């Protein structure tokens, strides 16, 4: 898959969905499961991958699996890339449902080690390359260069670490793309779903307070909302409580989502 850091920066992350963190990092690792894919166009293409650089730099060192719909059906191919050099494809088999693990490691002097493992089929590819790069970011994302994503339910990343620590401890930034949105990142795991309205952290509902007034009654506390003459309700008393609220006075009607 040809990655274009210039387009990435100009589009504000529109061709990536997932998480990126900025800093001087030397290693990123992550796992995912290849999803069921439906092709709607021969232009559809996407890839889950992990890598260093590309966010705030014009190089990227990455490894992942590309799904290409140019034949009319999804075809998966393992690959790595040391951009601006073109991608290099491995011929090992990858299928729907396969568990994949990728890692990219920098030696700090221009040397990089890239590895991709198919945990389901039991193969591993490993390559060492050199590139004068900045090592200014680490990411675990899905990408479609033109946002021409095929249809899939979700991609779940797990065990995403940066320099040996869980990525959620590295002030990560969530990126949506092409209708796909990452859910909360927790203990190195997150799920990217189509049309998801996940908040990136916290609860979509307020954590404190009630959407209804916390004190008082939404109905008048005295008197009757209906006229005192010609009222179908009794003249004394109101069908509504004279004190208190039919709604809870504290807490949230909505349970925390996460």
- C-alpha–C-alpha distance, residues 18 and 192, integer Å: 7
DSSP letter for each residue of 116-146: EEETTTTEEEEEEEE------EEEEEEE-TT
45-53 and 60-68 beta bridge pairing: antiparallel
Q: Return the pLDDT at 146.
A: 87
Q: Return the pLDDT at 204.
A: 34
Return the SS3 of 165. Answer: strand
- What superfamily in CATH does domain 5-194 come from? Peptidase G1 (2.60.120.700)
- C-alpha–C-alpha distance, residues 62 and 116, integer Å: 10
Please give the sequence-ordered ranges of beta strands (E in DSSP) within the chain, or none if there are none: 16-22, 27-33, 45-53, 60-68, 75-83, 88-89, 99-106, 111-118, 123-130, 137-143, 154-162, 165-166, 173-175, 180-182, 190-194
Q: Where do the structural domains in the chain lie, given as residue ranges?
A: 5-194, 204-258
User: What are the tens digits of pLDDT across the range 113-145?
Assistant: 999 999 999 999 999 999 999 999 999 999 999
Give the tokens for residue 74: 């999804």
The 10 Å CB-count burial string (b at 16+, else e) for 184-201 is bbeebbbbbbeebebebe
Would you give per-residue pLDDT tens digits along the chain (258 residues)?
Answer: 545 544 454 334 579 999 999 999 999 999 999 999 999 999 999 999 999 999 999 999 999 999 999 999 999 999 999 999 999 999 999 999 999 999 999 999 999 999 999 999 999 999 999 999 999 999 999 999 989 999 999 999 999 999 999 999 999 999 999 999 999 999 999 999 986 444 443 333 333 444 344 444 444 444 444 444 444 444 444 444 444 444 444 433 333 333
- DSSP bridge pairs for 99: 33
- C-alpha–C-alpha distance, residues 133 and 136, integer Å: 9
Neighbour count for residue 214 (Cβ, 10 Å): 13
User: pTM for the whole thing?
Assistant: 0.73
- C-alpha–C-alpha distance, residues 174 and 105, integer Å: 22
- C-alpha–C-alpha distance, residues 92 and 183, integer Å: 30
CA torsion, ordered 17, 158, 83, 86, to nearest 10 deg = -90
């Amino acid at each position: 898959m040809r990655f274009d850091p210039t387009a990435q920066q100009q589009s504000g992350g529109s061709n990536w969905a997932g998480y990126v963190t900025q800093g001087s990092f030397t290693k990123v690792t992550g796992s995912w499961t290849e999803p069921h894919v439906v092709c709607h166009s021969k232009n559809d293409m996407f890839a889950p991958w992990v890598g260093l650089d590309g966010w705030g730099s014009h190089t990227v060192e990455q490894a992942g699996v590309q799904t290409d719909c140019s034949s009319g059906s999804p075809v998966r191919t393992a690959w790595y890339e040391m951009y601006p050099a073109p991608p290099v494809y491995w011929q090992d088999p990858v299928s729907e449902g396969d568990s994949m693990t990728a890692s990219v490691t920098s030696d700090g002097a221009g040397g990089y080690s890239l590895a991709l493992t198919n945990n389901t089929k039991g193969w591993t590819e490993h390559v060492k390359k050199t590139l004068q790069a900045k090592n200014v970011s680490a990411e675990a994302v899905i990408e479609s260069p033109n946002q021409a994503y095929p249809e899939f339910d979700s991609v779940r990343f797990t065990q995403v670490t940066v320099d040996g620590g869980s990525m959620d401890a590295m002030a990560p930034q969530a990126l949506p793309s092409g209708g796909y949105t990452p859910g909360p990142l927790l203990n190195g795991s997150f799920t990217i779903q189509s049309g998801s309205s996940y908040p990136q952290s916290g609860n979509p509902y307020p954590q404190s307070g009630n959407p209804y007034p916390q004190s008082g009654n939404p109905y008048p506390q005295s008197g009757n909302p209906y006229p005192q003459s010609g009222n179908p309700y009794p003249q004394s008393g109101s069908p509504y409580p004279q004190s208190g609220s039919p709604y809870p006075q504290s807490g949230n009607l909505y349970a925390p989502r996460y």
